[in-house]
Amino acid sequence: MSEFVKEISSAELKDVTAKDGKVLIDFFATWCGPCKMLAPVLDKVAADEKDVTFVKVDIDRNVDAAEAYGVQVIPTLVLVKNGEAVAKQMGFMPEAELKKFVEQ
């Protein structure tokens, strides 16, 4: 796991998203190929974006969190600002596109 992107549980997710600021949630599964491709891209962007909290949630171990955010495809990225989900993107994203997504 990355030093910039922390894997968390459903309970931890509620605490993290309740705070002010931006949180990028990566809903993933260990068996998902595109999720594995996204991981190093996410790490690179997370290293540059110091004002955003980056977290990963395993959908197989945290079904309730995935359902709460309406995740139907993985990977799914959800951008939360001040406790409210403001954007959702499904599938792999290249670095430049991911940076734009996080900076919105």
Could you confirm whether 35 is annotated as catalytic? Answer: yes
Could you confirm whether 32 is annotated as catalytic? Answer: yes
Q: Considering the candidates 5, 24, 35, 102, report the single residue annotated as catalytic.
A: 35
Q: Which long-range contacts (CB under 8 A, 24 or more apart) does 18-23 make?
A: 18/83, 19/83, 20/82, 20/83, 21/51, 21/52, 21/53, 21/81, 21/82, 22/51, 22/52, 22/53, 22/79, 22/80, 22/81, 22/102, 23/52, 23/53, 23/54, 23/55, 23/79, 23/80
Q: Considering the candidates 10, 29, 32, 36, report the single residue annotated as catalytic.
A: 32
Active site amino acids: 32, 35
